[in-house]
Amino acid sequence: MWPRVSFRTLFAGGGQSLSVPAMLDDETIPMKEEAPVSKEQRRARVEHAIVEAARLLVAPDPLDMEALLRILGEATDAASVYFVGVPQSGEAQDYSYTVWHRQQPKTPHWWQELEARLRKYFPTPATQDEVHQLGENLLVVPVLSAEDEFYGYLGLEFADGLSEARQEEARLLEVLGGLLATYFDRRATEVARRESEERWRRLVEQLPEPILLVARDALVYLNPAGRRLLGAEAEEDLTGRSLLDFFSADQYDEVARQLRRLEAGEAVPPFEGSLIRFDGEERIVEITAARVLFQGHPVVQLILRDLTERRRAEERYRAFVSTITEGIFRIELRQPVATTTLPDLQVEHLYQHGYLAECNAVMARWLGAERPEEVAGRPLSSLRHYFRPRYLREFVQRGYQVHGEEYALSGKQGMRYFVVNAVGTVERDRLVRVWGSAVEVTERVELERRMVQTLEEQQQAIGRDLHDGVGQLLTSVRMLSENLATRLQAEQHELAELAQKVVRFAQEASEGVRTIYRGLTPAQLYTEDLTLALEELAYNTNALPGIRCRFETDGQVSIDNQEVKLHLYRIAQEAINNALKHAQASEIVLTLRRRDDVIELCVADNGCGLDPSRARADSLGLKTMYYRARTIGGTLRIHSRPGEGTTICCRIPVGEMHGTT
């Protein structure tokens, strides 16, 4: 009888080996004389062994290596069958041995002898899966996959040596070596798949986005975020349920159609749907889907993005902008523009690549449309009359922010005035969009215009009254006092000197009234150019004690409109008056010039300065200057800091000022 023993041997360090019995079978096989085996019988036995081994290797259960070696040994009459497992590290101490013996080995150190023979014949891992003959009685085939993944050696050892009759055994060894390599490949693939799925599961379990896996409409997996979205406490409450059960009836067919397309391998763009939770609440979601493998089977992976709060916010936003009296607009750029680009080039880029993405009904009416849909999507270049280059240039130069700026637009209904707020969205140093709002203040500006007109009429009336009343009276007093002084001086009367003082005082009072009259009613504005009137204003101011005042002009300004000339003159008057009374200035510079398409009047002093925001709120004079600037379609800017002087500038676009050249 021949006892059969299987060993799995692990080699320890230092060349020592440890033999661990893996199986000791007390089953005995009776010894008997066997008749010689014919070639046909040998081939049949090999074919049967291949079939049995193939069944073993394709079974879903883990491979019984000892059973495989036994099949190989019994089919070949081999004395021993070996499988030497070689790990990827290639270290000898990590080798594993599985051996089937037909009978007890003659020496207890057979595995050391086998190791020595393998090391001698294969100093490096094999690279070809052909059968090798080691010595007189050992056949070895490397277990090598098609991708050259080396798993080890499969060997047959015969007691009676090798001969040509062993060709069938060699073929069997080669076939089983290939089948075994395929098995190891499949097992490695399954291990990699399981590890990949485990990594995927650990990842998606932590993701905040709901993720669902669907196979034939049935839910096979949901991460915690997906369970929360559907209102379930445990995965078991949902697994196996049809995904379509969670969609409303009007969306059932569409979602089913998209799932069929995904299962067929088609690419489907993200789509929206309304999920019905366990508690009946409806949630609007965006679904991004793709076909993936899960546990070795194709499934549809759905990544859901809950849009419910966003949609509700959008509805509230639309309801809000549709009811307010402000105009709301959004400009998008098809190609963002770098913030480092020159301002004029940025303005041209806005016209070329910007478009009105959305606006409310109020803004649409201001843009000449009845509904927002009529202007949404229009290029900014077609709205150039409303979004003018000057306004866009100021927006760019101020760092893509405009707050409370007043702009004037001319149209069929005359001049219209708006207070505009705008802010740009900058991403990675590029302007991508502009949000803005506008409030029409035409009625307010008209009221200011009438107020300024009334004030001007009152000033002129006061001037006429001073000239015709007080002025004439002072002239009479001066003439009478001169006559009286002449007579008293001729008589050498003691009151003659006093009479001369009365004459001098009367002359000064009369001159003061004439000065006030010229200030209240600057006749030169109606007969001469604004430049001459401002030059005279600077000359008269310079004549005052303790003050230096000069006028500068580039000679490029010519204004025909009397109203514009008058208001610019009044602004200069008021600015100089503020510098004299409040700024404690010793020097004032009055300038009038033209820059491109803008006329600019500035009054600068070296006084104590002021806070522009507080001054605008508290000073009636400054408010009046703002009113006058808006009345003629201009803007007023105050540049000042405490202790650094003040500069007041009124700027008027030439094209928006009637009667200018």
Shared domain check, 344 and 260: no
Is there a domain that residue 479 lies in?
A: no
Q: Kindly report which listed range (309-313, 384-388, 473-477, 536-540) carries the lowest average pLDDT score.
A: 473-477
Beta strand pairing call for 587-595 and 548-553? parallel
Model pLDDT, residue 348: 95
Shared domain check, 176 and 38: yes
Is there a domain that residue 521 lies in?
A: no
- How many Cα neighbours within 13 Å face the side chain of 244? 15
Q: Which residues pair with 97 in a beta bridge?
A: 9, 84
Model pLDDT, residue 20: 35
| pLDDT higher at 300 or 103 | 300
Average pLDDT of 391-397? Answer: 91
Model pLDDT, residue 331: 95
Is there a domain that residue 449 lies in?
A: no
In angstroms, the CA 598 to CA 559 distance is: 12
Q: Which residues pair with 515 in a beta bridge?
A: none
Spatial strand order of the sheet with 297-306 comes to 218-222, 211-215, 297-306, 282-294, 271-276
The answer, yes or no, to whether residue 60 has pLDDT greater than 90, is no
Query: pLDDT-derived band of residue 6, with 50, 70 and 90 as boundaries?
Result: very low
- H or E segment and range at residue 211: strand 211-215
The answer, yes or no, to whether residue 151 has pLDDT greater than 90, is no
The answer, yes or no, to whether residue 125 has pLDDT greater than 80, is no
Q: Kindly report which listed range (60-69, 293-302, 512-521) carries the lowest average pLDDT score.
A: 512-521
Domain endpoint, select from 246, 280, 309: 309
**At which residue do the structure tokens 């079974």 appear?**
59
| pLDDT higher at 456 or 257 | 257
Name every residue whose Cβ is closer than 8 Å to that of residue 247 and which is 6 or more positions away in sequence.
Answer: 255, 273, 274, 275, 276
The answer, yes or no, to whether residue 126 has pLDDT greater than 70, is no
Shared domain check, 161 and 15: yes
Instruction: Report the phi/psi class of residue 231: left, alpha or beta, with left for phi > 0 and alpha for psi in -120 to 50.
Output: left
Per the CB < 8 A criterion, the answer to whether 552 and 591 are in contact is yes
* Proportion of the chain above pLDDT 70, given as a percent: 83
In angstroms, the CA 8 to CA 259 distance is: 51
Average pLDDT of 245-265? Answer: 87
Shared domain check, 329 and 259: no
Model pLDDT, residue 597: 81
Q: What digits encode the pLDDT tens for the residues 403-453? A: 888 887 776 667 788 889 999 999 999 999 999 999 988 888 888 778 777
Average pLDDT of 498-525? Answer: 70
Helices (H) and strands (E) in the chain, counts: 18, 22
Owning domain of residue 404 = 324-440
Shared domain check, 138 and 59: yes
Q: How many domains does the chain have?
A: 4
The answer, yes or no, to whether residue 380 has pLDDT greater than 70, is yes
User: What are the structure tokens assigned to 150, written together?
Assistant: 């080396």
- The type of residue at 564 is V
Q: Kindly report which listed range (274-283, 311-320, 348-357, 645-654) carries the lowest average pLDDT score.
A: 311-320
| pLDDT higher at 335 or 200 | 335
Model pLDDT, residue 230: 86
| pLDDT higher at 537 or 484 | 537
Name every residue whose Cβ is closer than 8 Å to that of residue 93 and which is 6 or more positions away in sequence.
Answer: 10, 11, 12, 13
Average pLDDT of 203-210? Answer: 82
Domain endpoint, select from 440, 474, 507: 440
In angstroms, the CA 204 to CA 225 distance is: 9
Shared domain check, 161 and 24: yes
Is there a domain that residue 456 lies in?
A: no
Average pLDDT of 247-267? Answer: 87
Q: Whole-prediction pTM value? A: 0.51
Shared domain check, 78 and 178: yes
Average pLDDT of 346-367? Answer: 92
Shared domain check, 377 and 286: no
Per the CB < 8 A criterion, the answer to whether 485 and 499 are in contact is yes
Model pLDDT, residue 400: 94
Is there a domain that residue 612 lies in?
A: yes
Shared domain check, 330 and 295: no
Segment of 26-40, 208-222, 224-238 carrying the highest mean pLDDT: 208-222
Query: pLDDT-derived band of residue 345, with 50, 70 and 90 as boundaries?
Result: very high
Q: What digits encode the pLDDT tens for the residues 271-283? A: 888 888 888 888 8
Question: In this structure, is the dihedral angle defined by the CA atoms of residues 335, 337, 342 and 343, taken in order, positive or negative?
Answer: positive
Model pLDDT, residue 336: 94
The answer, yes or no, to whether residue 335 has pLDDT greater than 90, is yes
**For 51-179, where are the E strands, in sequence order?**
80-85, 96-101, 132-134, 138-144, 150-157
Model pLDDT, residue 58: 83
Query: What's the mean pLDDT when you consider all of the chain?
Result: 80
Is there a domain that residue 317 lies in?
A: no
| Neighbour-count burial of 397, counting CB atoms closer than 10 A to its CB (0-12 exposed, 13-18 middle, 19+ buried) | exposed
Shared domain check, 340 and 255: no
What's the CA angle centered on 509, arms 488 and 584, to 5 degrees? 135
- H or E segment and range at residue 425: strand 414-427
Shared domain check, 304 and 334: no
Is there a domain that residue 596 lies in?
A: yes
The answer, yes or no, to whether residue 21 has pLDDT greater than 80, is no
Average pLDDT of 491-512? Answer: 76
Model pLDDT, residue 467: 62
The answer, yes or no, to whether residue 52 has pLDDT greater than 90, is no
**CATH number for the domain including 141?**
3.30.450.40
Name every residue whose Cβ is closer than 8 Å to that of residue 606 and which is 6 or more positions away in sequence.
Answer: 585, 586, 587, 645
Average pLDDT of 344-357? Answer: 95
Domain endpoint, select from 253, 282, 309: 309
**CATH number for the domain including 360?**
3.30.450.20
Model pLDDT, residue 341: 93
Average pLDDT of 571-587? Answer: 87
Segment of 27-41, 196-210, 463-477 carrying the highest mean pLDDT: 196-210
Is there a domain that residue 118 lies in?
A: yes
Model pLDDT, residue 612: 59
Beta strand pairing call for 430-440 and 548-553? unpaired
Shared domain check, 19 and 69: yes
